[in-house]
Amino acid sequence: MLRMNDAKGFLGKKFMRSSSTTQMAFSYLTKMKDVEDPSIWEKFTLGVLPLLDELEPTCRKMTSDLKLQPEVQNAASHWLRQICDVRDRASRVSQTIIGVFGNTGDGKSSAINALLDEVDLFPTNCHRACTATAIEVSYNHNDDEQKSYRAEIEFISVEDWLREVDILLSSLIENGTISPEHTDPESAAAQALAKIRAVYPSLGLDNLAASTAHQLAGHPDLCKVLGTTKHLKASSAYEIRDLVESFIDSHDKDDKSMAYWPLTKVVRIFTKAEVLANGVTIVDLPGHQDGDAARASVATEYMKSCTGIWVVAPMNRAADNKTAKDIISDRIKRQLKLDGALEALAVICSKTDEIEVQTAVRSLRKSLGEQTMKAWNIALSCDRRIRALEQDVVRLRRESERVRMPVSDTESERPAKRARTGARAATHDIPEPLSTAASETSDDVHVAKLDAKCRELDSVKSRKQQHWDMVHAMCIHKRIEITRKAIQQHLTKNFEELDRLDSHDDQNTSRTRVDRESHDYEEMSCRTPVFCISSHAYLKLQGLMMGEHQGAPGYGFKEETGIPQLQQYAQKLTEKLRIGKQKEVLSGLCEVLNSIGIWAQDVPINCKAMNAGELKALVCAFEKDLLAEVQECADRLANTIQHGVLDKLSHAAGIAASEAENTVSRWAAPLRQGGIHVGTLKAALQRYGVWKTHDFNEELIAPVKENVADDWVRFFQVDLPIYLDRLVVGASRRLELFHNDIMEKLGGDEDPEEAQFSEQLQQQVNNHQDQFSQIAYRSLINVNKAQKEASRTLAPTIEEMMIPVYQECLGITGKGTTRMIQYIITKYVKDNKDVIFLGVVGKVNDILWAAMNRAEKDLICKVKIIGSTMRHDYTLALTERENSGRLVEAAFKESMTGVLEEAEICFK
């Protein structure tokens, strides 16, 4: 068949193909349009993925068959790459991490136990902190009953322990001897000694004082542990908890064996809890007051990866002004703001069952309804009646005892006969005196009265309990209602205050004001879920916990405990991620099916053909235009991030540098001027600026965060999504125009057979649009991951630059130590502040530009893949090929057609 090169250019002679295959177009969008349940998406994807296994062998044979025309071989190679890509996407594990924050005793571990439908998987103790490290819990996919519960204990590296020991020794040893402060339990020296003795229990004080960090870290027993991961298994929660506890519990041991908790980096527990089945990982993080800088760093790292941030506070303090403010510190709120993760926040008020009814009624009197107060008054009335009845019962029993007093010593020795209220002297064999008979009659009267009073007492007690339980339940409900509103009000104020502190009206005044005014802080706080839960009540109602009460006073159903709602919320967090993954997989699968379907299609007898060279030129022009659009978007983003973020970051670093001298001078200032006690100061210096509530590095970097926060959030949460959305719209428009242009050159949709043919290619265009949207979204996610990483490098970079002076100050002893520290550290900052803060800016620049460049490359790569797919599809569909090649293709087409028909049934 001759190709046409006439003036019409694009149109060739009509040609004939002998096939009876029906045209097929594949899309998941119609079938799954209204499906919101991720499990249905997953089931559908699982059902259609085997189609790839059926397509792959034929594709592989086609790539090596030299009788096929080159364009067909190239297309088959492209299909193989697409199949591998779809499988790769399907194999990726979707993980939703929920970080649970809370202080010791707030009920954090108990809440997680209830969430997992477990009683004691997580250690709980009301007297001390049980979790001294982060604990992950994920679903256990192992079906072995002996391994229903598994655990992995990951220990810190040799390098990390060496650094930790160095810090501990510097806290404990002064001038070659043990610090006298080691006897003060609250001192840094005492805490350092406790940790060292936990790991080296047989090491005496004299030997410890003579040891170096390298000697201790190189202990043979430690070399077997550090940097390794220990694997545990058990058939019950109790067993795995018992096995894991020694690795996370910092309580004193009775024996002299080495403790592992100071060496534990993270504990991973795997269980078959239903709430975890869909990819949820819950992380129990150390308490807020943990002074361990290394563990604080672990918590920060988890926060970066968290889809959900849950903060636990006990109900009896959650509505208190100070507690509500402290639930989320300004530092955490600002980090969440920088991360764009304020919507990930949820507040959990625990221990709703811990309520004293009388006190609650007094404090909630104005809020309780008329029925509740009526029930309360009835309960009080019953209580008064109960006391009176109890006195009557006591009186009647005493009178009954007097009536039953024996009339003679002989009678008192007669056999006893037990009546309902006690022993009564009586015999049926020996006649009684008249006085005894009269006593019997009197006794019966007292017994009857006593029985009546006892029955009334039981009845009144039952009535009181009924009304008491009603009041108890209403007090719990009303306190929950009031607390939830109070927390949301505090959050509203906190969000607004944070924005106000981060706003600087002397810069971009109008835009800053508009941004603030556009925020609906009440709506933001209302979108923050507040769950009020009782772990113990839930576990009792589930029959999992034994207690002194059968059931849970104040709770009639498990839904009233708040735990089922929290479980549902945890599952809800996974839905977007799970559905998004299935869409990616299905989109890729449909693209492969459509490409193969276009090649294997039943082409109408009189179908028009295009010149292959001209078609290639059109595709190349389209690809070039789309790449130009990507480049334009990348340039705009680069310009915006430079002027909107990085320039502002440099300016903020300048502000921080100008304030740095005053900041560091305050640390060693006299106590009356707000300075820090020398012991605390040295403890912080030994730990590279971090000790308990003090974080010198954060103090130095705080002006940077405060001055750049609004601009940072504006770019990553507003500008970046807008630019990428515009790019997606532009790319979709170009794809549509390209297809319409080709169809128009072929004569439009005048011929019904051509219209059917056009529909098949149109579906492929829809798939390309969907996939480009997905890659743009993935680029957004990747850039946001990078900005989270960048914002977390601020304080560590300051620490790195300040370590030399921290260490220098530790060498200062004797009289005037504080003044000398103040002088040295202030001078160091004065001499090096520009270098310090330029280092901060440089690190952030490197991370953000790397992410932006990667996003640009990903988008360009996708454009090229789409261009390649379109080149193959339109070439195979619209250009002529040699008859000899078509004969070879026929056998392959027959093999593919069966799979396509099977796929068509799946996607209908």
Instruction: Report how far residue 739's alpha carbon sits from residue 744's, in angstroms, rounded to the nearest whole number.
Output: 9
pLDDT at res. 112: 95
Instruction: Report how far residue 833's alpha carbon sits from residue 455's, in angstroms, rounded to the nearest whole number.
Output: 84
Do residues 240 and 123 make contact, with C-beta atoms less than 8 angstroms apart?
no
Split at pLDDT 50, 70, 90, the class of 241 is very high
- What is 403-427 written as a DSSP string? HT--SSHHHHTSPEEEETTEEEE--
Q: Which of 496, 420, 488 is nearest to 452 (CA)?
A: 420
Around Cβ 749, how many Cβ atoms within 10 Å? 14
Q: Which of 105, 110, 535, 491 is nearest to 289 (CA)?
A: 105
Mean predicted confidence (pLDDT) in 770-798: 95
Instruction: Report how far residue 164's alpha carbon sits from residue 643's, in angstroms, rounded to the nearest whole number.
Output: 41
- Asked whether the predicted pLDDT for residue 509 surpasses 70, the reply is no
Question: In the beta sheet, which residues pair with residue 177?
Answer: 174
Instruction: Report how far residue 552's alpha carbon sits from residue 548's, in angstroms, rounded to the nearest whole number.
Output: 10
- Asked whether the predicted pLDDT for residue 74 surpasses 70, the reply is yes
H/E stretch holding 901? helix 883-907
pLDDT at res. 886: 72
Instruction: Report how far residue 620's alpha carbon sits from residue 623's, in angstroms, rounded to the nearest whole number.
Output: 5
Give percent of the chain with pLDDT exceeding 70: 83
pLDDT digits (tens, 9 = 90+) for 836-850: 999 999 999 999 999
pLDDT at res. 424: 40
Span between the terminal Cα atoms of the chain, in Å = 38
pLDDT at res. 373: 94
Are β-strands 416-419 and 530-532 bridged in parallel, bridged antiparallel, or unpaired?
Answer: unpaired
Split at pLDDT 50, 70, 90, the class of 7 is very low
Query: Which range has the top average pLDDT, 317-321, 553-557, 784-788?
Result: 784-788
- The order of strands in the sheet holding 229-234 is 229-234, 149-155, 264-271, 134-139, 280-284, 96-101, 308-314, 345-350, 530-532
- What is 151-174 written as a DSSP string? EEEEEPPHHHHHHHHHHHHHHHEE
- Asked whether the predicted pLDDT for residue 629 surpasses 50, the reply is yes
Mean predicted confidence (pLDDT) in 8-15: 34
pLDDT at res. 130: 46
pLDDT at res. 21: 47
pLDDT at res. 412: 43
- Asked whether the predicted pLDDT for residue 285 surpasses 70, the reply is yes
- Angle ∠(284,286,291) on CA atoms, nearest 5: 170
> What SS3 state is found at 238?
helix
Q: Which of 384, 546, 385 is nearest to 453 (CA)?
A: 385
Split at pLDDT 50, 70, 90, the class of 756 is low
Mean predicted confidence (pLDDT) in 317-339: 70
Instruction: Report how far residue 648's alpha carbon sits from residue 639's, in angstroms, rounded to the nearest whole number.
Output: 13
Around Cβ 269, how many Cβ atoms within 10 Å? 25
pLDDT digits (tens, 9 = 90+) for 291-316: 455 555 666 778 888 999 999 989 87
Instruction: Report how far residue 15's alpha carbon sits from residue 531's, in angstroms, rounded to the nearest whole number.
Output: 69
Mean predicted confidence (pLDDT) in 395-421: 57
pLDDT digits (tens, 9 = 90+) for 679-696: 889 999 998 998 888 899
Which tops the pLDDT comparison, 618 or 24? Answer: 618
Split at pLDDT 50, 70, 90, the class of 145 is confident
Structure tokens of 50? 């085997």
pLDDT at res. 422: 44
Structure tokens of 312? 């636990």
Return the CA Rg of the chain. Answer: 38
- Listed in sequence order, the residues at least 6 apart from 655 whose beta carbon sits closer than 8 Å to its beta carbon are 703, 704, 707
pLDDT at res. 16: 35
Amino acid at 443: D
Helix H, strand E, coil C: the string for 461-525 is HHHHHHHHHHHHHHHHHHHHHHHHHHHHHHHHHHHHHHHHHHCCCCCCHHHHHHHHHHCCHHHHH
- Angle ∠(134,138,139) on CA atoms, nearest 5: 165
Kindly report the average pLDDT of the chain as a whole number. Answer: 85
> What SS3 state is found at 131?
coil
- Angle ∠(601,604,606) on CA atoms, nearest 5: 145
Structure tokens of 530? 């507040």
Which tops the pLDDT comparison, 339 or 320? Answer: 339
Q: Which of 565, 744, 686, 837 is nearest to 213 (CA)?
A: 686
Question: pTM score, two decimals?
Answer: 0.83
* Phi and psi, residue 96, nearest 5°: -110, 110
pLDDT digits (tens, 9 = 90+) for 722-747: 999 999 999 999 999 999 998 888 77
Do residues 563 and 535 make contact, with C-beta atoms less than 8 angstroms apart?
yes
pLDDT at res. 878: 82
Do residues 27 and 590 make contact, with C-beta atoms less than 8 angstroms apart?
yes
Do residues 883 and 613 make contact, with C-beta atoms less than 8 angstroms apart?
no
Instruction: Report how far residue 505's alpha carbon sits from residue 706's, in angstroms, rounded to the nearest whole number.
Output: 13
pLDDT digits (tens, 9 = 90+) for 352-406: 999 999 999 988 888 898 999 999 999 999 999 999 999 989 988 888 777 665 5
Instruction: Report how far residue 69's alpha carbon sits from residue 884's, in angstroms, rounded to the nearest whole number.
Output: 9
Q: Where are the beta strands (DSSP E) in 676-791?
A: 690-691, 694-695
- Asked whether the predicted pLDDT for residue 54 surpasses 50, the reply is yes
Which tops the pLDDT comparison, 841 or 285? Answer: 841
Instruction: Report how far residue 541's alpha carbon sits from residue 556's, in angstroms, rounded to the nearest whole number.
Output: 8
Do residues 170 and 686 make contact, with C-beta atoms less than 8 angstroms apart?
yes
Structure tokens of 599? 């090649």
Structure tokens of 391? 């006195």
Of 77-91, 507-521, 608-622, where does mean pLDDT reach its minimum?
Answer: 507-521
pLDDT digits (tens, 9 = 90+) for 789-798: 999 999 999 9
Half-sphere exposure of 905 (CA within 13 A, CB side): 7
Instruction: Report how far residue 853's alpha carbon sits from residue 364's, in angstroms, rounded to the nearest whole number.
Output: 59
Mean predicted confidence (pLDDT) in 580-586: 95
Structure tokens of 664? 């560091």
